[in-house]
Structure 1
């Protein structure tokens, strides 16, 4: 029986240990060499990173500036009071101020938000104890002006906005132990008051909830 000869390998390649054949680069560039396109992408990534860093620093500076403004700037025309907190009382409370700015209040707070009908003042006072700002306006205030007030509180989480009968000025903005009366819904002090006293240090229980309470 004849033995088969091993077939010859005319297309034989080198199998020398430790050596591999380098495939030619599809781009025509030597392996490991950074192309101009890669350099451009790296430069773009670095520029984007610098932009992010600059933006982050700018935002931090703005936030820091607002905090500093809130802590040090006086809002003209604000009247201060000295009511103690944590005094709960069921039923109607007779307040010296219209609307009230502090004092005894209902055990349940009123949920922060925008209301088209008057809300319970004893519960609104409780909300102010938690750091809320309460903006009240005359019930006959034109709807276009009410819309301006609604835009003012947009984005704030600790605010109440509601009509209040018997006001001696078109708008009154109140926080615990602080109050400002204005004639014009475009008065810039409304925004200053809101920025300064929403969750301000004057509130005895700032940070306590303004949701999960009463809503009607």
Structure 2
């Protein structure tokens, strides 16, 4: 089924119906609250947790890659970070950007990677999808935005950094 023709609302509704046990989600374990200045090295790309800058990334849509250290702090606050490679079609990027509308804890940004990948990350959780038609995207957002893995649920996703690399 082509979800693009159904519209964004239908995509979110259909995919939210199966938010339990989302196939393909990888799980990682990190301690929260480890604030460190400077550039940090992460095992995952994009990172899904671990040490991070004391300031967080303001949630929203960005046209350039983000500093991992700020975005990880937003994950600690319950954000879902949607990243996409430079080979993702412009129409698909528009759909991804639309996913942030009306949501308080979603980041959307490109990566510096020349890939066709779309990756959704939350604190300790990550899902790679092949395109915006994947019905797991809405389920991931519904489950992990301010979800059960959030170390600092209710913390803001505004009032931080809006910088890009």
| Fold agreement, TM-score > 0.5 | yes
Aligned counterpart in structure 2 of residue 128 of structure 1, from 75, 93, 101? 75
TM-score (norm 1): 0.65
Structure 1 unmatched ranges of 5 or more: 1-65
- Paired residues of 2:79 and 2:106 also in contact (CA < 8 A): yes
Give me the TM-score of the superposition, normalised by structure 2: 0.85
Greater fraction helix = 1
Query: Which residue of 93, 113, 117 maps to 2:64?
Result: 117
Q: Post-superposition shift, 1:169?
A: 5.0
**After superposition, where does 1:36-185 map in structure 2 within 5 Å?**
73-166=20-113, 169-185=116-132
Indicate conservation of the 8 Å contact 1:129/1:176, yes or no.
yes
* Alpha-carbon distance, 1:167 to partner: 6.8
Give the direction of change, closer, same or farther, for the CA distance of 1:167–1:202 in structure 2 (3 Å limit): farther
Moved more, 133-142 or 102-111: 133-142
Q: CA deviation at 1:210?
A: 0.4
- Which residue is 2:153 aligned to? 206
SS in 1 for 2:47: coil
Which structure carries more relative contact order (alpha carbon 8 Å, separation 6+)?
2
Larger Rg: 1
Alignment gaps of 5+ in structure 2: 1-15
In 1, Cα distance between equivalents of 2:66 and 2:111? 8
Partner deviation per Cα, 1:176-204 (whole Å, 9 max, x = no partner):
00000011121110111001000012011
Q: How many pairs align?
A: 148
Q: SS where residue 88 of structure 1 aligns?
A: coil
Superposition CA RMSD, Å: 1.6
